[in-house]
């Protein structure tokens, strides 16, 4: 019995676009904060008597694409371990799945750690990050606690996340809509690459943003980190919106929340907005400012839809389900 817990991460410099779909190599590197909220808990038992993997997702038997994706991932682990035995997988998210709240990141990070242990692989953090990447790109960063940089790399061995030193950061998540998104990030990335006239410009800008972000981290310069975070997110969404058929992840309320970040800064509060592949908005701030930022946002969105978060632990094995 192997049980692992992992948390979602939110990118400050986004990963959007692959250079290799099979190996899940990103077009550009990215940088993120792993949070201490919305854990995924995943249990894996190797069961040589089972005919095929038996997968339970949030208490229900998993079928279709969800089950296929998990089985495809287990095939990688079996190939690494030389085993042909099936597995029983039980995975539980405490985050709404598919709503741009990074459930695939915590999900595949927890699955990588639990499955590697269940199949007897002894992998260090870098190898676990590379493995998690194969499940969902952003999952390689949830292996790491706190702030992580994912080096784009040029092949399987060189594309992994590792910790990066910087200031103590926190986030406030504003849940605009917790329903699953209409277009998966996988499909949206493909469509952006294939049809958006801004795809190439995005890649160039993201590469430059990552360099500037590393410098801002080294200086522990929160205003510079925040400005890059907000601008990088808007550049990603601009490239996505320009795809055909267009994809608009940001809802009217999401845009209003970017206005709220402007307003907070006009009042001297250093808070910066970002959004992944969905309408929810995350506000980045100094760890000590999280409660003030949350309180300041209650004029924009009900308090019950605001979740305060700090830096969380990387994916790890646990003795029993949380
Ligand atoms: O790893 P995926 O396929 O869930 O893609 C993640 C994409 C974004 O969340 C929008 C950006 C990122 O770097 O996490």
Residue 100 pLDDT level (bands cut at 50, 70, 90): low
Peptide bond into 53 cis (omega under 30): no
Start-to-end CA span in the chain (Å): 15
Residue 312 main-chain phi, psi, to 5 deg: -110, 170
CA dist list (Å): 43 to 63, 80, 91, 134, 317: 18, 19, 6, 19, 10
Give the position, in ligand 1's atom list, of the atom nearest the Cα of 15: 13
In the reported structure, the alpha carbon of residue 190 is separated from the centroid of ligand 1 by a whole-number distance in angstroms of 13
What is the CA(131)–ligand 1 centre distance, in A?
16
The least confident of 60-64, 72-76, 257-261 is 60-64
- Residue 179 is encoded by which pair of tokens? 């329903």
Q: Is the pLDDT of residue 207 over 60?
A: yes
Name the pLDDT band for 112 (thresholds 50, 70, 90). very high
Position 206 pLDDT exceeds 90 = yes
Task: Confirm or reject: Cβ of 188 under 6 Å from ligand 1.
Answer: no
Residues of the chain with pLDDT > 90, as a percent, come to: 91
Q: Is 209 in the pocket of ligand 1 (CB under 6 A)?
A: no
Closest CA to 229 of 32, 65, 66, 44: 32
Span 2-45, pLDDT tens digits: 999 999 999 999 999 999 999 999 999 999 999 999 999 999 99
User: Can you give the pLDDT at residue 103?
Assistant: 76
Query: Once rounded to an integer, what is the mean pLDDT over residues 124-128?
Result: 98
Q: Is 38 in the pocket of ligand 1 (CB under 6 A)?
A: no
3-state secondary structure of 207: helix
Ligand 1 center–CA 135 separation, angstroms: 12
Please tell me the distance between residue 277's alpha carbon and the centre of ligand 1 in angstroms.
7
Residue 33 near residue 286, CB atoms below 8 Å: no
Cβ of 276 below 6 Å from ligand 1: yes
CA of 1 to the centre of ligand 1 (A): 30
Residue range 251-308, pLDDT digits in tens: 999 999 999 999 999 999 999 999 999 999 999 999 999 999 999 999 999 999 999 9
For ligand 1, what atom is nearest to the CA of residue 277? 10
């Amino acid at each position: 019995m192997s049980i692992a817990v992992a948390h979602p991460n939110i990118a400050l410099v986004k990963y959007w676009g692959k250079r290799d779909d099979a190996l899940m190599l990103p077009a550009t590197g990215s940088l993120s904060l792993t949070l201490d909220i919305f854990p995924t808990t995943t249990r894996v038992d190797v069961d040589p008597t089972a005919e095929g993997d038996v997968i339970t997702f949030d208490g229900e038997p998993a079928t279709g694409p969800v089950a296929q994706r998990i089985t495809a991932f287990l095939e990688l682990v079996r190939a690494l371990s030389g085993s042909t035995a099936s597995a029983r997988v039980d995975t539980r998210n405490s985050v709404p799945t598919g709503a741009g709240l990074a459930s695939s990141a915590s999900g595949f990070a927890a699955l990588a750690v639990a499955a590697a242990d269940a199949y007897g692989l002894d992998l260090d953090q870098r190898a676990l990050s590379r493995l998690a990447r194969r499940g969902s790109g952003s999952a390689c960063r949830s292996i790491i606690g706190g702030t992580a940089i994912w080096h784009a790399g040029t092949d399987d061995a060189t594309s992994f996340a590792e910790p990066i030193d910087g200031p103590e950061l926190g986030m406030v998540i504003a849940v605009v809509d917790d329903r699953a998104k209409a277009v998966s990030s996988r499909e949206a990335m493909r469509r952006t690459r294939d049809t958006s006239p801004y795809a190439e410009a995005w890649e160039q800008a993201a590469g430059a943003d990552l360099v500037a972000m590393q410098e801002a981290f080294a200086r522990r310069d929160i205003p510079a980190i925040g400005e890059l975070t907000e601008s990088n997110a808007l550049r990603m969404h601009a490239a996505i919106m320009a795809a055909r058929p267009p994809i608009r992840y940001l809802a009217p309320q999401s845009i209003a929340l970017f206005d709220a970040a402007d307003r907070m800064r006009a009042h001297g509060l250093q808070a910066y907005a970002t959004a992944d592949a969905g309408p929810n908005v995350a506000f980045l701030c100094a760890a000590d400012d999280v409660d003030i930022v949350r309180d300041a946002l209650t004029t924009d969105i009900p308090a019950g839809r605001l979740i305060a978060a700090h830096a969380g632990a990387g994916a790890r094995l646990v003795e029993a389900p949380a």
